Amino acid sequence: MKKIYLDNAATSNPKPPSVISAVNNYLQNICSSPGRGGYFLGLEAGRVVFDTRQKLKQLFNAPSEEYVIFTPNVTYALNFALLGVLKPGDHVITTSMEHNSVIRPLRYLEQTRKIALNIIQCNKKGELDPEQIKKAIKPTTKMIIMTHASNVTGGIMPVETLHDLKEYTDAMLVVDAAQTAGVLEIDFKKLDLDFLCFTGHKALYGPPGTGGMVISPRAAKILAPSVHGGTGSRSDVELQPDFMPDKMEAGTPNTAGIAGLNAGLNFILEKGVENIHQHEMQLTRTFVNGLQQIPGISIWGPKDMDKMVSTVSITVEGRDLSELAFSLDADYGIMIRSGLHCSPLGHKTIGTFPEGTLRFSFGYFNTEEEVIYSIEALNQLTAD
Ligand X SMILES: Cc1ncc(COP(=O)(O)O)c(C=O)c1O
Residue 205 is given by DSSP the state -
Applying CB under 6 A, among 8, 12, 95, 199 the residue interacting with ligand X is 199
Query: What is the phi-psi region of residue 47: left when phi exceeds 0, alpha when psi lies from -120 to 50, beta otherwise?
Result: alpha
Closest residue to ligand X: CB criterion: 151
332 vs 362 by CB, closer to ligand X: 362
* Cβ at position 201, least distance to ligand X in Å: 6
* Cβ at position 177, least distance to ligand X in Å: 8
Binding flag, residue 310, ligand X (CB under 6 A): no
Return the residues of window 98-127 that contact ligand X according to CB under 6 A.
Answer: 99, 101
Binding flag, residue 180, ligand X (CB under 6 A): no
In order, the DSSP letters of 221-272 are HHPPPSS----SS-TT-SS--SSTTGGG--S---HHHHHHHHHHHHHHHHH-
Contact 60, 186 (CB under 8 A): yes
Applying CB under 6 A, among 8, 12, 52, 73 the residue interacting with ligand X is 73
**Count of positions on this chain that bind ligand X (CB under 6 A):** 14
Q: Which residues pair with 360 in a beta bridge?
A: 312
Alpha helices (H) along the chain:
17-25, 40-60, 74-85, 100-112, 130-136, 188-191, 217-222, 255-271, 273-291, 321-332, 344-350, 368-383
Applying CB under 6 A, among 7, 90, 127, 176 the residue interacting with ligand X is 176
Return the residues of window 209-228 that contact ligand X according to CB under 6 A.
Answer: 211
55 vs 99 by CB, closer to ligand X: 99
10 vs 20 by CB, closer to ligand X: 10
Part of the chain binding ligand X (CB under 6 A), chosen from 175-183, 216-224, 288-296, 301-309? 175-183
Binding flag, residue 179, ligand X (CB under 6 A): yes
Applying CB under 6 A, among 151, 153, 255, 313 the residue interacting with ligand X is 151
**Phi, psi (degrees; rounded to nearest 5) at 378:** -65, -40
Per 3-state DSSP, the chain is made up of helix, strand and coil in percentages (nearest 5) of 45, 15, 40
Binding flag, residue 75, ligand X (CB under 6 A): yes
143 vs 375 by CB, closer to ligand X: 143
Sheet holding 68-71, edge to edge: 68-71, 211-215, 195-199, 172-176, 141-147, 91-95, 116-120
**Interface with ligand X (CB under 6 A):** 10, 73-75, 99, 101, 147, 151, 176, 178-179, 199, 211, 342
